[in-house]
Amino acid sequence: MRLKSINPATGELIREYDELQWDDVDSALDLSLEAYRQWKRSAFTRRAELLLALSDKLLEKKEGLAFTISLEMGKPIKESRSEIEKCAWVCRYYAENAASFLAPQVVPTEASQSYVAFNPLGPVLAIMPWNFPFWQVFRFAAPALLAGNTVLLKHASNVPACALAIEQVINEAGFPVHVFQTLLISSRKIDNVISDRRIQAVTFTGSTPAGRSVGEIAGKYLKKSVLELGGSDPYIILADAHIEAAAEICVKARLMNAGQSCISAKRFIVEAPVYEVFSKLVVQKMSAAVMGDPMDEKTDLGPLARNNLRLDLEAQVNNSVAKGADLLLGGVDPQIPGAFYPATVLGNVTSGMPAYHEELFGPVATLIKAADMKEAISIANDTTFGLGAAVFTSDIEKGRYMAEHELEAGSCFVNDFVKSDPRLPFGGIKESGYGRELSVFGLREFMNIKTVVVR
């Protein structure tokens, strides 16, 4: 089978790539293990130097890498540049901060010495999605490599050029060969890699069904796993919020990456007294977004990454409207080449509609009316997902309390949209997955947290 890189803005084939045969995968696994034996013994300072070099290399090659992202998955070019900058940041962050994260921790006991040491695990498999084709990889790989692990990347089949560009930039930064390798294979061959004895752990980002399958194999073969899956992030807008500012932030969060983000604002749950004014503002701001060529600096909204994703989204919207949702904006196939879907707003969404329960991975804002704060919280938590959540209110203490105690999600923000940050842990609960990425928590996921006791 061949992996196809298709420009989603035009539907044209960019290039085809031969999928690796098992023999190639087998030797990549051997090489990863061999590289690990050296890499784990390298000094932390050397690994940190290489991560700094990688950070610089990413910035040096930013234009070309951003172009590859936009061409292959359709993100507006200005967002692709920001993605590369964020990757440079995560490399720098770990290089400059991880010495303290990895330092042994003394725990006084009756023994003469007792402490916790942090050792790498070995080759780790990363199965990654196309929506942030660089960031998703770097936020895992930067800490994993710094910790002394080696990495094998199985990227999404629609972004092979990004997958190869990542391997190349890491090699160009000076990392020893085979410490990071890209495996050009489709998901149909991945079970054999997860179960292979040379793989010590697996990290997965993508849909909940695929994550379930990875978790099942990882469980069967007792491989440590981290799963970062979908989300249907609720954003609560309370009556005392600054409505104009809230609408501005919510629309920005919904349209970023054409809405193809696990932590996009997906369900706007609005207290009844401000529902009408908020929904008008959302429609106004969503309709102002410029849809078009991802390479154009003025474009706010590019195509979706694949045509089948557009068709799935269209079906979710149509189904919700058929079940009684109000179509306040968009929702009509623009009838142009490429996988474009317009900015869309659904009003009066209620339980039983796809827009209420499912993840809508596209530029579709869902408005749900709540009688009061209590009902808003109950609707926010009425989901199988638990990745991110936000609350908008002028009462900061109330917002903070809701974020900390009431909302069932891995990240809860007050008066802002949910975003990942190298300094803070990132991950979900419920069917949004388990484990954490980023910060000290992410670094320790793929380490042997070892107890050492000397009598």
Q: Is 148 in the site for ligand NDP (CB under 6 A)?
A: no
Cβ-based burial of 41 (10 A; exposed 0-12, middle 13-18, buried ≥19):
exposed
d(CA 89, CA 439): 12
Least distance (Å) between residue 253 CB and ligand NDP: 15
Looking at the Cβ atoms of 120 and 206, the one nearer to ligand NDP is: 206
Contact call for residues 172 and 147 (beta carbons, < 8 A): no
Q: Is 229 in the site for ligand NDP (CB under 6 A)?
A: yes
Question: How many Å from the N-terminal Cα to the C-terminal Cα in the chain?
Answer: 58
Looking at the Cβ atoms of 173 and 265, the one nearer to ligand NDP is: 265
Q: Which helix (H) or strand (E) holds 254?
A: helix 243-255
Looking at the Cβ atoms of 157 and 366, the one nearer to ligand NDP is: 157
Q: Tell me, what DSSP letter sits at residue 215?
A: H
Please enumerate in sequence order all residues whose Cβ is within 8 A of that of 365, keeping only pairs 6 or more positions apart, or say none. 250, 251, 254, 265, 268, 282, 286, 343, 344, 345, 346
Count of chain residues binding ligand NDP (CB under 6 A): 23
Reply yes or no on whether 162 is catalytic.
no
Phi, psi for residue 86 in degrees, rounded to 5:
-70, -35
Stretch that binds ligand NDP, among 22-30, 203-211, 336-344, 372-380 (CB under 6 A): 203-211
Looking at the Cβ atoms of 307 and 415, the one nearer to ligand NDP is: 307
Residue of 5, 7, 157, 366 interacting with ligand NDP (CB under 6 A): 157
Please enumerate in sequence order all residues whose Cβ is within 8 A of that of 6, keeping only pairs 6 or more positions apart, or say none. 12, 13, 14, 158, 306
Q: Is 359 in the site for ligand NDP (CB under 6 A)?
A: yes
- Identify the active-site residue in 79, 228, 406, 437: 228
Reply yes or no on whether 262 is catalytic.
yes
- Identify the active-site residue in 91, 262, 359, 445: 262
Q: Is 187 in the site for ligand NDP (CB under 6 A)?
A: yes
Residue of 207, 287, 350, 415 interacting with ligand NDP (CB under 6 A): 207
Q: Is 72 in the site for ligand NDP (CB under 6 A)?
A: no
Cβ-based burial of 381 (10 A; exposed 0-12, middle 13-18, buried ≥19):
middle
Q: Tell me, what DSSP letter sits at residue 424?
A: S
Q: Is 35 in the site for ligand NDP (CB under 6 A)?
A: no
Interface residue list for ligand NDP (CB under 6 A): 127-129, 131, 155-157, 186-187, 190, 205-207, 210, 213-214, 228-230, 262, 309, 359, 361
